[in-house]
Amino acid sequence: MSHYNHLTIFEREKLFLMFNQGHSIRTIAAAVDRSPSTISRELKRNFKKGTYSPIIAQTLYSYRKQNCGR
């Protein structure tokens, strides 16, 4: 059983809003009660064409989870 909690679409939306308002990664992490490294990885993994989209990030997450081999 996994002890990881994946980001929800609501957390991704909040990340998107706060990131576009210019908040730091640490501030965003505190607001969504996640580690700053989680936020950093999420942005790095899903920052496409100069922007972060929570809907695209959620879609990519679903696709990756479906094809992870578990």
Whole-number pLDDT of residue 48: 85
The tens digit of pLDDT for each residue in 8-62 reads 999 999 999 999 999 999 999 999 999 999 999 999 999 988 899 999 999 999 8
Where helices occur in 1-70 by DSSP H, the ranges are: 9-20, 25-32, 36-46, 54-66
DSSP H or E segment with residue 3:
none
The predicted model scores a pTM of 0.85
Domain boundaries, the chain: 9-67
Are the CB atoms for 17 and 53 separated by under 8 Å?
A: no
Residue 22 Ramachandran class (φ > 0 left, ψ -120 to 50 alpha, else beta):
left
Please name which of 68, 7, 5 lies closest in space to residue 43, comparing C-alpha atoms: 7
